[in-house]
Structure 1
Amino acid sequence: MLVGLGLLVVLLVMALVLPLFWRVSPTAVDLSHALAPPSPAHPMGTDGNGRDVLARFNAGARVSLLIGLTVAVVGAIIGGTIGIIGGIRGGAVDAVLMRGMDAILAFPPLVLAMAVTVGLGPGAATATWGIVLISIPWYARIVRSEVLRIRSQQFVYAAVTMGASPVRVVRRHILPHLVPTVLTQAAGVFSYGILAMAGLGFLGLGVQVPTADWGSMITEGLEYALGGQWWISTFPGLGVLAVTAAAAIIADNGREAFSRPGERAGG
C-alpha cells in the first residue's frame, strides 16, 4: 500500500508542484534544440520539435490523472446507482438493468471506447466518456452483489421490521457498507482509465495536439526510437507504468484490507 501511495505522491508532485519551478511551456517549439538528449537544461531531453519532454511529461501527467479520476468518480456514481437500484428492487427491474450491463460487457472494453470516440469525434472529452461507459458495468455488478449480501443481514431485517423506508435503509445501513468495496474498485478503474486513455492517445483518438498526453507522446517518440532518441517515448511510458502499477498495488491491498474476516481466512 505504501509503495503504491508513494508512487502516486511522486507523480502528483511532478504534475502539480514541479511546474511551479520548471517554468517551461510544453508547447514551445525550438527547432534549434530538437532531439536534444537529457541534460541539465532539459532533464528528459527534447522531442522532434524541440519541445521540452519534462514539461510535456508534467502536462501529460495532469491530463492523465484528471481523466483517471473523472472515470473513477463518474463511473462509481452511475454504476453504483444502477447496482443499488438493481439490488434493492430485484425482479424485472434488476433483470433489465443487469442485461443492459451484460450488453456493454459483451464488447471488448477498449474496442467499445474506440467506437464511442470515433462516433462522437476524437478528443479528450469523448474518449473520457467512452472509458466511463465501459467502467459502469464493473461498478454496477460488484455493487449489486454487495447490496444483495448486505440485504440478507439481520440488522437490515431489523430496520425494515421497525418501519424504516427503503431510502432510509439504503442511506443508513447499505451505503456505509458499500464504501470500502467502491473505493477498492475505484482504484482499479482509475488505473484502467489512465491506461485506456494512453491507448486511445497512441491511436490518435484521445487528447489532441498541441495538448500533451502520455499516449500521444509515446506515439510521437516511436519514429525516433530506432534512431537512438529513446527518451521521447521512454519517459511517458514509464509514467503510464508507474501510475497503473501504483493504482493496482493500492487496489490489491485495499481489497485485502477490506475483505471480510471469513473470506480472508478462507483464502
Structure 2
Amino acid sequence: MAPPKGPQIHYQQIPTTLQQQQQQQQQQPQRPNFQMALLPPPQDRLYPTFEALQADLKAFTRSQGYAIVTLSSLNRDIEGRYRRYNLCCAKGGKNYTSHSKGLRAGRSTKTGCPMRMKAVQEKAWPYGDKWHVIVQCAEHNHEPFTGEPGVVVPAQFRKIEQDGMRWLIIMHREAQLSLRQLTIGLRISFGEKYQYVKKSDVRNMLAKIKRDEDRKTAAAAAAAGLPANLPYTLLPPSHQPPPPPLQHVEQMPPLPEGLQVPDPDLESDDEDGDDDDE
C-alpha cells in the first residue's frame, strides 16, 4: 500500500555517529517478528514539534498496516508542556468482552500487541531540543491491515480530522447533503486519507459538532445572564445594528372649520346606553 499523500513533514537526521551505534545494535540478534511487513518507524529523524512527529508517524504506520495510539504523557517542562509521550500499537491491551445487554453488539479488536515506543524531546546534543522516536519493542502479534473486504478497519484509519470536519460543516449546512453523499464526498475529496470512513463516522462527527456548538451557546447565554433553555441568545454590543435615525414626519393640515368632526381614535368604543330592543 502506498503511503497517503499529505503535508510535507520537515525533519532532520541524527548525525552519523549515532547512526553507527544504531547499526551496531541492529546487527545484534533480535527476537523474531510475527509479521515482517509491520516495520517500526525510523529512529533517525528529528522533528521540530510533537505534532510534526505525530503526523509523520501516522503516515508511516498506516503504510505498514497498523496504527499508533498515545498511552500516557509525562515530563512537563516549566511552561507545563509535555516532553515525552508513551505510544503503543492500537491493538495493544487486553481483549475486552462487553457483557452489556444494550442494542449495540460491540466487540474489541485488541490482541495484546506488545509493540511499544516513545516520543521524546531532548535538549542535549545532537537532538537540539527536537523530538525523536525510540522504539522499545518492534514486535507485533497480529496481521497488518491491508484494506481487504470484510476485515475490521482500525478506528484510527476512520478518524475525521479538522480538515474533514470543516468540509462536513459546509457541505451539510450549505449543500444539504445526505449521510451517503457526505461519506462519498469525503472519500473522493480527500483520497486515501478518508477512504475507510463510514456513514456512522460521519453521523457521529455531525452529532459531535452540534454538541460542541450547543455547549458554546449555553456558555454564552450563561455569561449574558440568560437561562440556558431560551430559544435565543444576545448579540454582543459591538455587533448590534445602530439605532434608526430620527426622521421628520409632516403633520396633516387642519380641516376647514365647517368640515371638522370628532376624531374617532379619541373616542371610546364602549356604548353609553343599552341597546334598544326591536
Same-fold status (TM-score > 0.5): no
TM-score, with structure 1 as normaliser: 0.20
Q: Which has the higher strand share?
A: 2
> In terms of Rg, which structure is larger?
2
Q: Which has the higher helix share?
A: 1
- Flag the structure with more relative contact order, 1 or 2, with Cα contacts below 8 A and sequence separation at least 6: 1
TM-score, with structure 2 as normaliser: 0.20
